[in-house]
Structure 1
Amino acid sequence: MTKTCSSTNQQAFQVNADDLARELQLSKLAKALSHPARVRILTILLKLDRLDGCLNSDLVSQLGLAQSTVSEHLRILKVAQLISVEPIPPKMCYRINRESLNEFSHLLSDFSN
């Protein structure tokens, strides 16, 4: 049995500037979440956020990765605005950015509808 594809109106494939902006934002956030270590970092930060806390301890021991690798993962999450960083000497305090996570969820929901 052969399946056929029905043709659609070409206007269905037109993309406006708002669509492009949403797609770029979705891809930026998805790329930042594309590594298991970054997902793990966000999971840790989400748990701390529920306790109204932030992470200022050593992630290296929790992730089992080199300090430079953890720093790079944190940098990527910060650039994507999924986390915020606040200096609390002598360390940095990392917090989840709920607004960006909510935006990602919203963009993904729009994408799947």
Structure 2
Amino acid sequence: MPVSASAVLDALGDANRRAILELLTGGAMAVGVLADRLPISRPAVSQHLRVLKEAGLVTESSAGTRRLYRIDPAGLAVVREYLDGFWKSTLDNFARLAEAEGEREERPA
């Protein structure tokens, strides 16, 4: 199922999920390790990981009896594309404004 920018942004709207994602920038971690580093319970961490996984921001793999979670770059790429669209639009508008200003300065008074 393709990841949507809306789902990613909704998932990132929660401070605990952002904190989990930030912890995962250091590499794959198990739920217990994440719970030890956060002020929320292990079941809460599991619920947040489920939301992050559904949004396409994390993947899970098995390592023996443990489930390891890591950042999924595809989910981040979707939201980056979404935000880059705003940046491109802003740059295009700036270029048009600069061109119009340049044309005004070139006209004789």
Using the size of structure 2 for normalisation, the TM-score is: 0.70
Structure 2, unpaired ranges of 5+: 90-109
In the alignment, structure 1 residue 60 sits paired with structure 2 residue 60: no
Q: What is aligned with 2:44?
A: 69
Alpha-carbon distance in structure 2 between the residues aligned to 1:90 and 1:101: 28
In the alignment, structure 1 residue 31 sits paired with structure 2 residue 5: no
Alpha-carbon distance in structure 2 between the residues aligned to 1:100 and 1:28: 9
Between structures 1 and 2, the one with greater helix share: 2
Identity %: 28
Matches within 5 A, 1:81-100: 81-100=56-75
Question: Contact conserved, 1:26 with 1:107, CA < 8 A, in 2?
Answer: yes
- Provide runs of 4+ in structure 1 moved above 2 Å: none
Aligned length: 85
SS of corresponding position for 2:40: coil
Amino acid at match of 2:36: S
Larger radius of gyration: 2
Question: Contact conserved, 2:23 with 2:34, CA < 8 A, in 1?
Answer: no
* 1:42-101 Cα distance to aligned partner (Å, 9 max, x none): 1111122xxxxx112521110120111111100000001100000112211111001210
Alpha-carbon distance in structure 2 between the residues aligned to 1:110 and 1:25: 14
Question: Contact conserved, 1:26 with 1:108, CA < 8 A, in 2?
Answer: no
